[in-house]
Amino acid sequence: MKANETKVEDFLSSNKTQFVIPVYQRNYDWSTSQCKQLLDDILEVGTSKKMDAHFIGSVVYVHDDVYTSSRIKELTIIDGQQRLTTLTLIYLALYRLGITMNDEGLVNEISETYLINKFAPEEEKLKLRPTENNDKAIKYLLRGDSEEEYEGFSKVIDNFNYFLGRITEENYDFVLNGLSKLMFVEISLDREKDDPQRIFESLNSTGLELSQADLIRNYILMGLKRRDQKKIYNNYWEIIEKLAKDETRNTIKVSDFIRDYLTLTNNKIPNKRKVYLEFKAKFPTTDLEALEKNLLPIKSLVKYYNKLLNPKNEKDKDIRIQLEYINRLEINVAYPFLMKVYEDFSEQIIDKSTFIAVLDFVQSFTWRRFIVGLPTNALNKIFMTLYEKVEKDKYLESIQHWLLKRTGSQRFPKNKEVIESLKLKDVYNIKSKNRTYLLERLENFENKEPVMIEGNTDITIEHIFPQNPDPKWKVDLGTDEYNLIKETYLNTIGNLTLSGNNGKLGNKPFKQKRDLENAGYKDSRLWLNKYLSIIEKWDKNEIERRFDMLSERFLNIWQYPQIEFETEDQSNEINIFEAEDPKHKKLEYAIFFDQKIEVKQVSKLYVEVFRHLFELQPETFFTTDLAEKITLTKNPKEGNPRQAIQLNDTYYIEGNMDNINKFDKIKHALTIFDSEDELLIKYSE
């Protein structure tokens, strides 16, 4: 590796040289504010008589002694493409200004010194050879054909126009003077002696803001020959980048997709900031043959990921509706599982009805859990391994069977629990997407003419008992019932409906809202308003009667599976967080991280749990209060810890406590380790 301080203009004016931006580099994406800052710096140093130099960072390139057929030297830029491209745009703006001013000397100087290799063939003429879309834009700007309009949006065009607007006849001399004072550190790498990928990682760790997907792209492409780079990029990576995209928000989701793929294949969810490291560990070799083998299944799954992100791309209407529901609920944690199910449907391992049933079942599971208020973090572990539980000959039933066996915070809530939670749940102040999902599905159940609420500004949510009621409501109901409804039922499902005339209904008394001509409940076509059209009053009893109707419909939509399965005497297995007081009780066994532990005493379980957790992640004991809680020590002294228990060859913990205290400490540790669902116990009879 060689590093030198170099003038920008000396670097860019290198004779018979091409600066190649490889396909693995991210796209040119400097913002206008970044361009403004650079030009402001150039003008400041250009107008100052005191400033002789201004550093703008570094440019790192690989020089492989590669020359084209016309002896043009190629330098592969691995860091600095954003600055080099922006500087080229400034020179292009000066070149265009020279044409406008009829200054042939300026035009020729800029063009032949900084923009082109004059005597090179057409494909090698540009000194900066960016990726394909940017190459097209720069060539368009160099042609300067005002009659030809550039198709599509380009940051290159956008930033060039910014510079063209700011560089004028009055200040271009200062710009040229400023450019002549710009310096950067030129770092030249030799592929035979240096490791470009390792150097690139080091640059990233010191502030280069790249996504995990950027790092992965560089990793798989950087070590390949140019021809192989193009092959892998065009046949695999470009397709992955194109499809792993939220098209509505126009956001790239490649990092998230790779994370989901690794979750599926490793049965472990990578930290969002360590997806690249996990990918690199899983695929340690990047030769062409290995890359094609590794990228093929990733490329295969990304087309299903695309439809999960963008349901509109699914042509089948029935499937598309289910995907839209899942998208609204933002059940992203289920994507690793759903991608494989989608693939099975595509490969005709399951039929359409089974696929839709699985999509519907996932909604029932997650939506019931939401209504009950179970923690969402438990879903990560459930969906991470769920596909492994699929039995192809009993596809849906095997999935249902597995989820119905979950206990504790992973459980599938039963009908009674869900209805009790739903009755008084504030569903008005939940996420608007979720609120719309609930009401739309209730309205459209078995409806041959479904009403779409999402995106429909004509239909809004209506409080039957208003948020700010007309005083006549208190007269009709009486003070006690009025207050009870306002405090207890106002935002519950029993008091909510849909209306296309919310403004007209307003805060009016119930009968006026019911009978309002062409706007009231009596004239409504909506199922949610049918019961309201026939009753005479709206009080606590009517709210509860209507809730009973809605809850029956709820259970028909988000069903609890009616399947039978062997309990394998697991009815008495219970999550430790839900277990009865262990005082004076003995254990039959425990299941910890899916492994059966033959322990009869709580004290033995206590030791086994902490021994396993310490082997799993010892640092957590010292970065939290856990070591202090269990009196973890290397040197047990007289009476401290009391009844010292040996954890391993080095450490001891306290054992002098009752079973209730042992349970409390175990639960505290499981919470810290985010493993609340990993310990089941069974008391002996």
Instruction: For 283-308, write each residue's pLDDT tens digit.
Output: 988 889 999 999 999 999 999 999 99
What's the pLDDT tens digit per position in 130-187? 887 788 888 888 887 655 777 778 889 999 999 999 999 999 999 999 999 998 888 8
Residues 6+ apart with CB under 8 A from 568: none
Q: Answer whether 98's CB lies under 8 Å from 107's CB.
A: yes
The domain spans of the chain are 2-209, 217-413, 419-557, 574-683
Burial class of residue 370 (count of CB atoms within 10 Å of its CB; 0-12, 13-18, 19+)? buried
Number of C-beta neighbours around residue 124 at 10 A = 19
| Interatomic CA distance for residues 240 and 303, integer angstroms | 8
Q: Beta 652-653 vs 645-646: how paired, if at all?
A: antiparallel
Q: Answer whether 408's CB lies under 8 Å from 472's CB.
A: no
pLDDT score of 206 = 44
| Interatomic CA distance for residues 88 and 59, integer angstroms | 14
| Interatomic CA distance for residues 537 and 548, integer angstroms | 17
Higher pLDDT, 124 or 461: 461
What's the pLDDT tens digit per position in 234-243? 999 999 999 9
Q: What is the percentage of the chain residues whose pLDDT exceeds 90? A: 54
Instruction: Kindly list the distances between the CA atom of residue 531 and the CA atoms of 474, 516, 524, 535, 556, in Å, as whole numbers in the listed order.
Output: 22, 16, 11, 7, 18
Closest C-alpha to 261, from 321, 223, 191, 308: 308
| Interatomic CA distance for residues 554 and 441, integer angstroms | 9
> Which contiguous run of DSSP H or E holds residue 69?
none
Q: What is the percentage of the chain residues whose pLDDT exceeds 70? A: 94
With 70 as the cut, is the pLDDT of residue 352 above it?
Answer: yes
With 60 as the cut, is the pLDDT of residue 114 above it?
Answer: yes
| Interatomic CA distance for residues 129 and 84, integer angstroms | 11
Number of C-beta neighbours around residue 438 at 10 A = 22
With 80 as the cut, is the pLDDT of residue 190 above it?
Answer: no
Q: What angle do CA 225, 228, 229 make, to 5 degrees?
A: 80
With 80 as the cut, is the pLDDT of residue 280 above it?
Answer: yes
pLDDT score of 236 = 95
Closest C-alpha to 495, from 527, 462, 541: 462
In which band, very low, low, confident or very high, does the pLDDT at 26 lie, cut at 50, 70 and 90?
Answer: confident
**pTM, rounded to two decimals:** 0.71
Q: Answer whether 489's CB lies under 8 Å from 542's CB.
A: no
pLDDT score of 569 = 45
DSSP letters, 456-507, are -TT-EEEESS-SS--THHHHHH-HHHHHHIIIIITTSGGGEEEES-HHHHTT
In which band, very low, low, confident or very high, does the pLDDT at 4 lie, cut at 50, 70 and 90?
Answer: confident
The tokens for 617 are 């992640």
Q: What is the DSSP letter of 225?
A: -
Burial class of residue 598 (count of CB atoms within 10 Å of its CB; 0-12, 13-18, 19+)? exposed
Q: What is the dihedral of CA 365, 369, 371, 374, to 10 degrees?
A: -170
Instruction: Kindly list the distances between the CA atom of residue 182 and the CA atoms of 51, 116, 372, in Å, as whole numbers in the listed order.
Output: 10, 20, 62
In which band, very low, low, confident or very high, does the pLDDT at 570 lie, cut at 50, 70 and 90?
Answer: very low
